[in-house]
Structure 1
Amino acid sequence: MFFDHLVLGAAGEFLNIGDIIVTLVIFSLLMLLLKKFAWGPLMGVMQQREELIASEIEAAENSRQESHKLLEEQRAILKDASTQAQQIVENAKKQGEVSREDIITTARAEAGRMKDAAVQEIANEREKAIAAVRDEVVALSLLAASKVLDKEISEEENRQLINETIAKAGELQ
């Protein structure tokens, strides 16, 4: 071939142009085959890997935001629970005070009722004792009067006489 020996190399040697052309054709063919069978699938795998990493980053960000939101909700719930607990304690204290006042009022009323009952019972017993003493005085007066007068007077007259004597004795006191 005529063009096979025309090009001189850097060291003064002749280069084989046919070999260069064949090498370029084979290289171009190899590049086309690599692009079709290796580069495309390799780029597809790389694209899938990129999408997987992007989705994992997005999922991690969503999880972080969700956990932050849950943390805020838990803090709000805890604050509400603390407020409610404090209100329950305050209400219990107030109810305790009301109950204490009710118990004191009830105890005072019961003590007053017992005192009034005792005073009434004492008055009743005093009246009974006075009546018993009057009856005894009447009986003794009748006995003394009948001995003094040495005569017997009627029961009705004796009672009237004794009642008058007792009434006079009561006026003297």
Structure 2
Amino acid sequence: MFVNSVLAESNSLYIGDLVFYIVTFIILMLLVKHFAWKPVTDMMKKRADKIANDIDNAARSRESAEKMAAKRQAELQSSRQEAAEIVSNAKKSGETQRAQIVETAQKDAQALKQQAQKDAEQARRDALNSAKDDVANLSIEIASKLIQKELKADDQKELIDSYIEGLVEHES
């Protein structure tokens, strides 16, 4: 009986302690839930939401950066093409202007050459006509002097000297 009474007492002690431990555990759990669990879970939820938002923002930022990079690359390519077209057009325009300038210069040079040839031909004709007139005048003078006197050797020398003097005076 002693064993039964010890067992009964130990069972009751054990059951009483067990009930105390359970009640204490439940109270402790309620206190933890009320004071610690809810703030910790709220903090964890907020942290998880912040991390999710940061990941979403990073993904959006990366997509935006990729789009901007693609756009800038396209604009750069477009700018390069425009620059190449501008250079090509400038070269074509320069070649056209160069050809026009060369053609104009050649025409001007040809016109100047023709004018110079005309002027030289006119000067030659004028000189020839002047020489013909001078020769004719001198011939008339010589003939008239010959008629006036009979030519002797001394007379011929004088006639030639006067003719030369007339040429010198006429050219001056």
Please give the range of the TM-score, normalised by the shorter of the 2 chains. Answer: 0.7 to 0.9
Identity of aligned residues (%): 36
4+ residue segments displaced more than 6 Å = 5-8
**Which of structures 1 and 2 has the larger relative contact order (alpha carbons within 8 angstroms, sep 6+)?**
2
Q: Quick one: distance in 2 between partners of 1:80 and 1:6?
A: 98
RMSD: 2.2
Q: Quick one: distance in 2 between partners of 1:54 and 1:47?
A: 10
Cα distance change, pair 28–120 in 1 and its aligned pair in 2 (3 A): same
Q: Quick one: distance in 1 between partners of 2:52 and 2:6?
A: 57
1:14 pairs with one of 11, 19, 22: 11
CA contact (8 A) 1:7 1:14 kept: yes
Cα distance change, pair 6–128 in 1 and its aligned pair in 2 (3 A): farther
Cα distance change, pair 55–143 in 1 and its aligned pair in 2 (3 A): same
Post-superposition CA distance 1:5-39 (Å, at most 9, x none): 7987xxxx635222222222111111110100010
The number of residue pairs the alignment matches comes to 143
For 2:105, the equivalent position in structure 1 comes to 107
Structure 2 letter corresponding to 1:37: F
Q: Quick one: distance in 2 between partners of 1:61 and 1:72?
A: 16
Post-superposition CA distance 1:72-93 (Å, at most 9, x none): 1111111101211210221122
Give the secondary structure class of the aligned counterpart of 1:118: helix
Q: Quick one: distance in 1 between partners of 2:144 and 2:7?
A: 187
Q: Quick one: distance in 2 between partners of 1:6 and 1:24?
A: 23
Q: Quick one: distance in 1 between partners of 2:6 and 2:30?
A: 30
For 2:91, the equivalent position in structure 1 comes to 93
Equivalent residue runs for 1:23-172 within 5 Å? 23-150=21-148
Q: Quick one: distance in 2 between partners of 1:94 and 1:108?
A: 21
Q: Quick one: distance in 2 between partners of 1:126 and 1:48?
A: 113
CA contact (8 A) 1:6 1:15 kept: no
Q: Quick one: distance in 2 between partners of 1:126 and 1:115?
A: 16
Q: Which runs of 5+ in 1 are unaligned?
A: 152-173
Question: Which is richer in helix?
Answer: 2
Q: Which runs of 5+ in 2 are unaligned?
A: 150-172
Give the secondary structure class of the aligned counterpart of 2:24: helix
**Of 142-151 and 99-108, the range deviating more from structure 2:** 142-151
Using the TM superposition, give the Cα deviation of residue 132 of structure 1 relative to its aligned residue in structure 2, in angstroms: 1.5
Cα distance change, pair 27–95 in 1 and its aligned pair in 2 (3 A): same
Give the secondary structure class of the aligned counterpart of 1:14: helix
Post-superposition CA distance 1:21-78 (Å, at most 9, x none): 2222111111110100010011011011101101110111011111111111111111
